[in-house]
Chain A
Amino acid sequence: MTLTPVTVRRAIARMTSGLDGPLLAIVLALTGIGLATLYSASYDTPARFHAQLLNFAVAFAALWVAAQVPPQTLARFALPAYLLGLALLVAVALFGDVVNGARRWLHLGFLRVQPSEMMKIAVPLMLAWYFHRYEAALRLRDFALAGLLLALPVALIARQPDLGTALLVFAVGFYVIFFAGIGWKVLATLAALALASVAPLWGLLHDYQRKRILTLLDPTQDPLGAGYHIIQSTIAVGSGGIAGKGWLHGTQAHLEFIPERHTDFIFAVFSEEFGLIGNCVLLLLYALLIGRGLMIAANAATYFSRLLAASLTLMYFTYAFVNMGMVAGILPVVGVPLPFVSYGGTSLATLFIGVGLLMSVNRHRKLVQT
């Protein structure tokens, strides 16, 4: 094959045929913002920025692969992926490495993985496939079983403990069940039960988790301990003002007042430097991402792909809302990264694979408009 303009164009067309233009644009914009903010946050550790560039390249490749796989093939992977993930979670509980008091990582000889991350994809796949199989007549029993399928990994992840990931996995699974059409009455009953179980659950939480929730109610009670994160990030956001202090000029970030400024609290860095205007742009991009995702879900060809697309889309919403809400001091501090912005290879890969799946669903949408 010779390299003529036509063959090159064809090759590019073939390469990009699976990619959705609007979604790609939104994700690239978010990633750009993320890299710029990370560059500012890693003024003293430039290696992080370079590592994230590599993470981005890997994640983008994963996105491309995921976008090429048709939903039918994905459905076939659902059960094996779920079982593998569950097995790995059990393995983590038994042999995992302890980092910062939590057992989250598993050594697989050449690399360390965080099995809980893959559950963010495996759980919606599994549940969507499960509901798809029993699509004809869904009964309460089916929802109950789905609930069990969800509860197992969530419980294992929460035990690590990794409340943030557990929350996200629970959220994405719940969205599948919700869109599968669980009855409103059942939902209301479950909500009531959940409220009633708050008190007993409180007893199961770790001390630091309780402290985080209590600290949210009154951060000033422990200004140098648990309240420090919230106080300093709120100061960063508030002092950013309307226009922000300018890129690379955030004092809170650059004088190390913001803890975990590369990862969970990177939004504080962004918000301090770009102000309310930057926040609005970010909110808008996330809103567009969610809008585009829901549009893809609405037009999805099958029950399976519809559920998958809708739940993944709302998972991005959950990510963004919980993270920004936490940094802005209206939600408790749970370890949820800001999607496409926070530093972290595994997390970025998961997010991009999710977007790839959305693109796959979009590519195989109903060809005939009704």
Chain B
Amino acid sequence: MHLAELKDYERELYNFHLRMVIAAVVALLAFGALLARFVYLQVLQHDYYQTKAEDNRISIVPIAPNRGLIVDRNGIVLAGNDSGYTLEIAPDKTPDLERTIDQLSKLVEIQPKDRSRFERLLAETRSADSLPIRTRLSDAEVARVAANRYRFPGVEIKARLFRDYPLGETASHVLGYTGRITERDQERLEALGVSANYRGTDVIGKSGIEASYQEDLHGNAGFEQVEIDAAGRAIRTLTRTAAHPGDDVALTIDTGLQQVAEAAFGDRRGALVALEPATGAVLALVSQPGFDPNLFVDGIDPQSWDALNNSPDHPLNNRAIAGLYPPGSTLKPYLALAALELGKRTPKSSIVDPGYFMFGGRRFRDDRPGGHGVVNLYKSLVESCDTYYYMLSNDLGIDAIAQFLAPFGFGSRTGIDLDGEASGVLPSPEWKAKRFRSPEQKKWYPGETISVGIGQGYNAYTPIQLALALATLANGGVMYRPRLVDHIDNTRTGERRYEEPQLVRRIPLHEANVAFIKHAMEGVNRDPEGTGARAFAGAQYTSAGKTGTAQVISIKQNEKYEEKNVAERLRDHSLYVVFAPVESPKIALAVVVENGGFGARAAAPIARAVLDYYLLGKAPARKGVKEDDSSQAGD
């Protein structure tokens, strides 16, 4: 080998080795960088990534609590839970909703109303959830869908508890209804800061007791810690905190009484409220027509919703607490009491009734064309003499009337534990000044006082106000807040929480005066001339009542009201208030029959049926209490 060549070779080899050393150093540095990174991730940041990994794998799945029951005062279940299967579709996971529903309809019956309800839910509910397309599947349907499940991604059969109202329309306005949680409900729950507790829950109370006792009925959600994979599938349960079912709510309602009262209305519209004077407990609360709350349980279909909402009878309105009616003559006992308390009349003084009262050049007509003759306070109530009260209200003046009526609860919410109560109108110059705009309208005219005195004019009260005022009178001026709930049972601890009677006020009244008014009201039902005598003929208990007829349209001065000439919807409302027994009142109630005509004719027989049932346990023979056609004795 040549020396130069050898030298070249040596230098080349040296160069090669040098480059290998460089490469080795670079490789070592690179591995060093990796090692540094590993130490950083696995030692310094280990806790952080450990948490991340745990977060990844553990998911919290809420368990919805079972909703509490609603029972009546005797333990009869009014709202329960019924298990059943729903067919649900998760819109997010379903590629073609329309096609999926079409294909499902070959396996299970899906009616157009199911579809439209589904679409409505889709619009109302926050996405990501699965929504029911069909509820209460039969076993055969469940089997058919289960066998074909692989064909339908995003479609699931779920076993669920449904709210169930076994008695249908009975006490529907007391119970209210439940429905699926809408976006608006969700926002409300978030505002209240309780949305976490509702994470597994689909339904919420929308009205009635279901809404006002929602928190008690709902219970507390449970949670399951579930290990999930990257696709979110549950692999196994790690820990489980059971849900606490909602509390059972026991109402003061007597279902038997409620059903008797509802049946007594027949097809007529109206409301009835029966209270226990000594406690404020609501024994029956009727608003007719009612509705079937079962329709709402899984989202009402639009057809049924429209039918309920657009009906001229407004079945969804709770007339008992939100319907406003002029009290008519049922206001007279309070004016009579005012006359005694304020010294404007004595039981002995009398007037002569010519059949009208002239005031300011205007003729206020009596209900009886020739008048009632010589009328004292007792007779004014028994025969319901308008002229007596025209004069009396003129003597009392509107301010005194308003001041005296207000403590009885006229024109203010009773505070019953239901949402949506109306306050009504107790007319007074102050009210009128606030209510109207123009100076002309703001002014109180003395003639208006005369109308107020017979329960007409601006007077507008809810049936529950009429019942509460009467209960207060029956109670000698002691008022208890009306309430629907007797007690709440905590199903977990077995603890029972009673809702105590809530004293609202004691109206200072003279016992003798109250006794006199009660005596006169007893005469209404007992004396042959009494306006309620026919309805209460042969009653085996004492009762004190007052009929009332409220004008829907005003009759001009010289016109005579002829029922047959007036369209059904414009006929007078028939009212009746009564408590019994007189000595120790157990029940006080107010009945309004819309467009029922004379109070004695439509409303009083309903009251009689209710009292007979409550005091004697007598069930009426048939549905719909017969109207008392012969009762033409005015009121």
Contacts and interface: CB of A to CB of B under 8 A. Distances in A.
B42 A276 contact: yes
Contacts of A310: 16, 20, 23
Given A283-B34, A324-B34, 7 more contacts: A232-B56, A241-B50, A251-B56, A251-B57, A255-B230, A276-B42, A330-B37
Contact of B43 (A232, A241, A287, A330): A241
9 contacts: A181-B12, A232-B56, A252-B56, A256-B231, A257-B57, A276-B42, A276-B43, A294-B23, A310-B16
At the interface, is chain B mostly helix, strand, loop or mixed? Answer: helix
Interface residues of A, number: 42
B57 A297 contact: no
B53 interface: yes
A239 B53 contact: yes
A240 B50 CA distance: 8
B358 interface: no
B27 A317 contact: yes
A342 interface: no
B57 A255 contact: yes
A27 B54 CA distance: 35
A287 B23 CA distance: 12
B123 interface: no
**9 shortest interchain CB distances as A-B pairs:** A238-B49, A239-B53, A238-B41, A255-B229, A256-B230, A239-B49, A276-B42, A235-B52, A257-B230
Interface string B28-47: 10110111011101110110
Interface in A242-263: 242, 251-252, 255-257
Contact of B41 (A175, A252, A297, A328): A328
A237 B48 CA distance: 11
A279 B38 contact: yes
B24 A290 contact: yes
A294 B24 CA distance: 8
A179 interface: yes
A358 B533 CA distance: 122
A221 B81 CA distance: 47
Interface residues of B, number: 37
Interface string A319-348: 001001100111000000000000000000
B15 interface: yes
Contacts of A84: none
A306 to B, nearest CB: 6
Nearest to B19: A179
A318 to B, nearest CB: 9
B110 interface: no
Contacts of B17: 298
Contacts of A240: 42
A300 to B, nearest CB: 10
Given A181-B12, A241-B50, A234 B34 contact: no
Contacts of A235: 49, 52-53, 56
Contacts of B19: 178-179, 181
B50 A239 contact: yes
B42 A279 contact: yes
Contact of A314 (B12, B15, B23, B31): B23
B35 A283 contact: yes
A276 B39 contact: yes
A221 to B, nearest CB: 17
B14 to A, nearest CB: 11
B342 interface: no
B229 A275 contact: no
Contacts of A321: 27, 30-31, 34
B594 interface: no
Contacts of A143: none
B227 interface: yes
B228 interface: yes
B20 A179 contact: yes
A317 B33 CA distance: 13
Given A179-B19, A242-B43, A255-B57, A276 B229 contact: no
B420 to A, nearest CB: 46
A300 B50 CA distance: 48
Nearest to B34: A324
Nearest to B46: A241
A105 interface: no
A236 interface: yes
Contact of A238 (B33, B42, B54): B42
A328 B34 contact: yes
Nearest to B21: A294
B235 interface: yes
A256 B232 CA distance: 10
Contacts of A181: 12, 15-16, 19
Given A235-B52, A238-B46, A306-B16, A255 B41 contact: no
Nearest to B15: A181
Contact of B228 (A179, A255, A280, A291): A255
Given A181-B16, A234-B41, A255-B229, A290 B46 contact: no
A145 to B, nearest CB: 20
B28 A238 contact: no
A276 B38 contact: yes
A242 B50 CA distance: 12
A314 to B, nearest CB: 6
B27 A239 contact: no
Interface string A286-322: 1100110010011000000010001000100100010
Nearest to B37: A328
B232 to A, nearest CB: 10
Given A238-B52, A283-B34, A321-B34, A298 B45 contact: no
Contacts of B231: 256
Contact of B20 (A256, A287, A298): A298
Of A235, A290, A321, which is in contact with the most chain B CB atoms at under 10 Å from its CB? A235
A317 B26 CA distance: 10
Contact of A255 (B15, B16, B24, B227): B227
A291 B27 CA distance: 10
Contacts of A328: 34, 37-38, 41
B24 A251 contact: no
Nearest to B48: A238
Interface in A203-251: 232, 234-242, 251
Contacts of A257: 56-57, 229-230
B27 A256 contact: no
A20 B35 CA distance: 29
A40 to B, nearest CB: 15
A6 B54 CA distance: 60
A181 B28 CA distance: 21
Contacts of B34: 279, 283, 321, 324-325, 328, 330
Interface string A161-193: 000000000000001001101000000000000
Nearest to B229: A255
A321 B228 CA distance: 33
Given A276-B42, A310-B20, A239 B35 contact: no
B582 to A, nearest CB: 77
Given A239-B49, A239-B52, A256-B231, A286 B42 contact: no
A252 to B, nearest CB: 6
Contact of A237 (B15, B35, B42, B57): B42
Contacts of B37: 325, 328-330
Contacts of B57: 251-252, 255, 257
Contacts of A287: 27-28, 31
Contacts of A276: 38-39, 42-43
Nearest to A297: B20
A324 B30 CA distance: 11
